[in-house]
Structure 1
């Protein structure tokens, strides 16, 4: 059965979207998910104070936000400025739902500070369609007290997947209910793909010929079967089925992130596969009610994701993404919309948010500032970005990411790795055509 892309689903999603509160358009408007309020709200207030123009700001729950963005952009009813996950940019831009910003950005004096390589996640066909709010890295977070109770020496530094599994089994033996939380299933969405699948996949085989990715970038084809894919799904099987290190049900909680973070504060989680934002988000993603750095360091530690441990695989892995803010093609007053966008990204507001929330910076005027470099956590975590990569931001990625999420969910439901790979490959062929899918032996 052919599995439609996110954009192909828009007619049906639009019906669902019509049941949501409509966005009343004003002179300038913006829609954003609640987790990024601390960046967007001060920018809106500064814009209103400087221009006298009222901004129609629509803050929405993070869960379901991505679908709402796609629906509104396709319908031409999206606000002028929209916040979106970077993985959405290529497909939305290819459908002409986003306005290219290059011409306007050339006249903005702060554009020169953006790290060019990081603009790639917000670009399509050599045009910039959005500005990144931050970048990120991924790691294995761990509860220091739980580790000590399990007799694991600190700082923990696993060298292979076997090391991670062995530590998780020791933690489980101490009665910790969630000894290793590895994002899985479709409900976890990009968390499954980025914090789970890709972090394992990159270390599951040699990087040669992109054997450890979802896409062969040189050939321009999606990878339907490979040793790396099979080893990655086998890791999921070990965690959730064979060793039962964590109940699979955790991936289906009503608000999984909130559930996991609360469990961490109760010392119910041993190891969590997540990203650099957790140094704040475990307590408050808005950076408002954070314990001191010293208090957080006393609770949490982190280690780089190791490769599987073979000589031909990467010793550690990382992949970076992040969120972006762009302009809808349907924006009527693109000059004012751009002014709102750049006010949000004005150095004072942007720098304060980046440092306060321990976000990884995307501009040199921020990353080279004393406030940023004196942050011990940011300085250490930023080193992981030296050898990072990015996801496969090509049109069609929206489909592929959902399919690989489903494959992990199938493993949780008891499907064999062979059958999960077969379904994944056949779905890719059904969607893109057999000539667009490559298989590695």
Structure 2
């Protein structure tokens, strides 16, 4: 038998760790030297802060960073082939299909039964944990999260005698305020999202206020009483010209920033990304004095999801363990480190916004009452869109229903048209509730 040359042996020794880093999923049982883990993600925080900090605390583990998969299909292909990084960052919308297909496994399997004992869970509201839960099983840890709530122009509401802080308790109170504002000459009293954001930013939060989820027990909400009630609210708002029918998200935000719109349903990004006096796309000097905020009320007190008086809706990202990781204990240690209080705070890079962790929010949002309100009041009440690939097509059908109502069609007719489209999308009436 020929013995390998010295050059070949050196080449193999040099190439081996590089192959491990490129392929991810840890080092094999035959590997020598430091264990190598990989993270699929992006941002300077990973390479400049997280990796050095983790390696300093765990000298026997090296961490490589690779780009996150571009889309759900690319990630699914990697996982099916048993490849990919040990820890993967993904959009919450991808979770359901990957879980149903067996590409992702619950944390109880990938990290072991001890995953439920992670101390960090106590800092993440139960509702926010829902971002990483599918059909009752936890698959990862939430990384980012937002909230939807009401913003209002303090001066315009004071003009009609409404209190500040204003805390509407029902849709009826919302309409009552908008009608007072209209009578007082306010051109755009109440903005409910239409157009491209109608489903995510408008209809779904309002649907949560009826106590209804869009997808529950694998059945989609059809032309139910709840859907018709939400469309009925749109009909009242736009039929009574309490909002402008041709609103776009950018136009609606511009009007609010200019003081022409009184009540505005939006995400917390309106505050820290749009209206920020220093860095916003529509900077508003004196923002704190000009703009108030409130939770979105349920249709009636106690009528929201989980019997809540108020509701919200969120989107976000999470990190999961690759089922093919070769050292689950080490990968779980890295995953929980990336979601520790110090890591989450460092990832913000000095730009405060709500995070999944209560303890981090208490520190970084202490000087901003609005963001603290979103984190402490809205996030514990939140829900998420269905994390399945059918959702965007269902959302398109919901947008069409909203557009039909805004254009003057009756809520009942718009709901029935939505029902027909929905049945086609989801495989027939057996998969539709209501």
Please, what TM-score do these two structures have when normalized by structure 1?
Answer: 0.68
Secondary structure of the residue that 1:222 maps to in structure 2? strand
Q: CA deviation at 1:311?
A: 8.9
Q: 1:277 to 1:75 in 2, by over 3 A?
A: same
Deviates more, 1:45-54 or 1:226-235: 45-54
Q: 1:332 to 1:350 in 2, by over 3 A?
A: same
C-alpha distance in 1, partners of 2:187/2:67? 41
5+ unaligned residues in a row in structure 2: which ranges? 1-21, 25-37, 56-61
Equivalent position of 1:247 in the other structure: 244
Q: 1:162 to 1:87 in 2, by over 3 A?
A: same
1:42 is the counterpart of 2:49: no
Residue pair 2:296, 2:310 contacting (<8 A) in 1 also: yes
Q: Which of structures 1 and 2 has the bigger CA Rg?
A: 2
C-alpha distance in 2, partners of 1:260/1:334? 50
Residue pair 1:134, 1:323 contacting (<8 A) in 2 also: yes
Equivalent position of 1:323 in the other structure: 316
Equivalent position of 1:236 in the other structure: 234
Secondary structure of the residue that 2:168 maps to in structure 1? coil
Equivalent position of 1:18 in the other structure: none
1:279 is the counterpart of 2:248: no
Residue pair 1:178, 1:268 contacting (<8 A) in 2 also: yes
1:163 is the counterpart of 2:161: no
Equivalent position of 1:180 in the other structure: 190
5+ unaligned residues in a row in structure 1: which ranges? 1-24, 33-39, 59-64
Equivalent position of 2:204 in the other structure: 198
Question: Which of the pair has the greater relative contact order for Cα pairs under 8 Å at 6+ separation?
Answer: 1
Residue pair 1:183, 1:273 contacting (<8 A) in 2 also: yes
Equivalent position of 2:30 in the other structure: none
1:268 is the counterpart of 2:260: yes
Which digits, 9 at most, give the CA deviation of each residue in 1:29-71, with x for residues without a partner? 7456xxxxxxx4323322454668774557xxxxxx9xx5234
Residue pair 1:429, 1:437 contacting (<8 A) in 2 also: yes
Q: 1:364 to 1:280 in 2, by over 3 A?
A: closer
User: Please, which of 131, 137, 140 is the counterpart of residue 121 of structure 1?
Assistant: 131
C-alpha distance in 1, partners of 2:116/2:430? 46
Equivalent position of 1:21 in the other structure: none
C-alpha distance in 2, partners of 1:225/1:83? 35
Which digits, 9 at most, give the CA deviation of each residue in 1:6-46, with x for residues without a partner? xxxxxxxxxxxxxxxxxxx89757456xxxxxxx4323322
- Corresponding pairs, count: 380
Residue pair 1:344, 1:350 contacting (<8 A) in 2 also: yes
Equivalent position of 1:112 in the other structure: 119
C-alpha distance in 1, partners of 2:96/2:334? 23
Q: CA deviation at 1:326?
A: 2.8
Secondary structure of the residue that 1:180 maps to in structure 2? strand
Q: CA deviation at 1:341?
A: 5.4
After superposition, where does 1:41-60 map in structure 2 within 5 Å?
41-47=44-50, 49=52, 55-57=65-67
Q: 1:272 to 1:292 in 2, by over 3 A?
A: closer
